[in-house]
């Protein structure tokens, strides 16, 4: 086979690989929950790209191995050793530079997306520098907040979510107006919790005595579920809250009604007070969940 035909065959194979990889990468969008925020679109683009790259590498390597096994396998009674391979400087440069540039590009895109999420007050909690003053190491830095249409205070405790809206309206439901930037001020009472809504593609740890701000821009109306992504104790699996993304009109209507609506009961309390269903008690210690109570202050336990 002439060199031209070899290059042509390689080009055709690479083209087929690119088409297959791009197709699998487009399917990756269907593997995730629906995109409910602008931030979710950016995250899914990176996920689709990584899926395409992984497919290209996997199919390419498997194809080369199958091709070699079919056309270059030794005959039945051939026990001779193959000739030693000779290094090619061009190939060495190619498979060194290409992955390096790819990893750097992915890292840059990931950092760019994280910057767009506008997460504030995430200064280091503990510094490892031995010469640094402890007081300075523990003091969080206050970042400058970007503009948002409204701010909602989010309070997490074992094992309950509560939310405070403008005009001091409190609820255990998170309501967000669609296509509006909302700043969520995250507060944890006693242990680390995790703010996680799969459709938002946002998962942020909430550290006690730290006010962490997170900006979200919902773009898809519907009902979602807020989960605690950190293990916070016995009933952390019950620590869920409904999230409603709705039009501005419905959001304002809900705000006008929420002031007179009672707070629903805590699922953890209901589970804790149920009679034991097992034959033997484990005797394991657990924190007794407190009755539902909305936090009254923005900075919880800052005086302790």
Q: What is the pLDDT of residues 148-168, one digit of tens each?
A: 888 999 999 888 899 999 888
In angstroms, the CA 212 to CA 154 distance is 10
Confidence at residue 304, expressed as pLDDT on a 0 to 100 scale:
42
In angstroms, the CA 250 to CA 38 distance is 21
252: closest CA among 125, 160, 165? 165
In angstroms, the CA 120 to CA 244 distance is 24
Low-confidence ranges of the chain (pLDDT < 70): 1, 84-86, 117-146, 262-265, 276-283, 291-304
Confidence at residue 190, expressed as pLDDT on a 0 to 100 scale:
86
> Beta strands 174-177 and 240-246: pairing type?
parallel
In angstroms, the CA 150 to CA 136 distance is 31
Confidence at residue 92, expressed as pLDDT on a 0 to 100 scale:
84
Confidence at residue 189, expressed as pLDDT on a 0 to 100 scale:
86
Give CA separation, 300 vs 24, 138, 165, in Å. 47, 17, 16
Its sign, for the CA torsion 252, 257, 260, 262, is negative
Confidence at residue 8, expressed as pLDDT on a 0 to 100 scale:
87
201: closest CA among 82, 83, 34, 63? 34
211: closest CA among 301, 114, 298, 124? 298
Give CA separation, 209 vs 141, 153, 163, 203, 215, in Å. 13, 14, 17, 19, 19
- Beta strands, E only, the chain: 150-157, 160-165, 169-171, 174-177, 182-188, 193-197, 202-206, 212-216, 222-228, 240-246
Confidence at residue 134, expressed as pLDDT on a 0 to 100 scale:
44
Pair 232, 158: CB distance under 8 Å: yes
């Amino acid at each position: 086979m002439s060199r031209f035909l070899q290059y042509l065959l390689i080009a055709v194979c690479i083209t087929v690989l690119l088409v297959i990889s791009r197709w699998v990468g487009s399917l990756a969008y269907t593997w995730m929950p629906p995109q409910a925020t602008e931030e979710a679109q950016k995250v899914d683009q990176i996920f689709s790209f990584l899926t395409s790259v992984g497919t290209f590498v996997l199919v390419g390597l498997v194809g080369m191995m199958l091709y070699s096994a079919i056309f270059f396998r030794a005959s039945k009674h051939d026990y001779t050793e193959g000739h030693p391979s000779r290094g090619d400087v061009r190939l060495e440069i190619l498979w060194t530079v290409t992955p390096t540039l790819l990893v750097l590009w992915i890292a840059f895109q990931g950092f760019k997306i994280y910057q767009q999420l506008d997460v504030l007050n995430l200064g280091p909690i503990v510094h490892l520098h031995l010469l640094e003053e402890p007081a300075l190491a523990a003091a969080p830095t206050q970042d400058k907040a970007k503009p948002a249409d409204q701010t909602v205070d989010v309070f997490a405790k074992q094992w309950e979510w509560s939310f405070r809206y403008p005009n001091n309206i409190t609820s255990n439901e998170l309501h967000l107006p669609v296509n509006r930037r909302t700043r969520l001020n995250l507060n944890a009472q006693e242990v680390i919790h995790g703010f996680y809504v799969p459709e938002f593609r946002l998962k942020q740890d909430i550290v006690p005595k730290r006010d962490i701000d997170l900006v979200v821009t919902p773009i898809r109306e519907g009902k979602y579920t807020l989960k605690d992504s950190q293990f916070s104790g016995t009933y952390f699996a019950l620590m869920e809250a409904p999230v409603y993304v709705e039009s501005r009109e419905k959001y304002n209507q809900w705000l006008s009604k929420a002031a007179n609506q009672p707070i629903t009961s805590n699922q953890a309390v209901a589970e804790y007070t149920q009679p034991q269903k097992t034959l033997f008690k484990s005797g394991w210690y657990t924190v007794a969940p407190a009755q539902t109570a909305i936090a009254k202050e923005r900075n919880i336990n800052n005086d302790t």
